[in-house]
Amino acid sequence: MLLTLALSACSNASSVPVLGAFFPDWLFCILGAALLVLLVHRLLARRGLSAWLTPPTLAYPMLTALFALSAWLLFFQS
């Protein structure tokens, strides 16, 4: 009985229909965030400011998470 209560939250997963297939909304948020991070990286490198995001192995994944979570909150939470 307790196990069914714990699993009941998974029954209403939000998804987006694309060409007849359903994809989870977080997938689009991560894809958009990765594209935004690529754009930020290119803009900073072009202006010579890429040293601001150091160390890059921590900065870029954190920036991706920030963009993805922000997009998810903005577009998919009501």
List per-residue pLDDT tens for the chain, 78 residues long: 666 666 655 556 677 778 888 888 888 999 999 999 999 999 999 999 988 888 989 999 999 999 999 999 998 876
Q: How far apart are CA 22 and CA 14, in angstroms?
A: 9
pLDDT number for residue 51? 86
- Give pTM, 2 decimals: 0.76
Nearest Cα residue to 28 out of 39, 17, 38, 20: 17
pLDDT number for residue 10? 56
pLDDT number for residue 2? 66
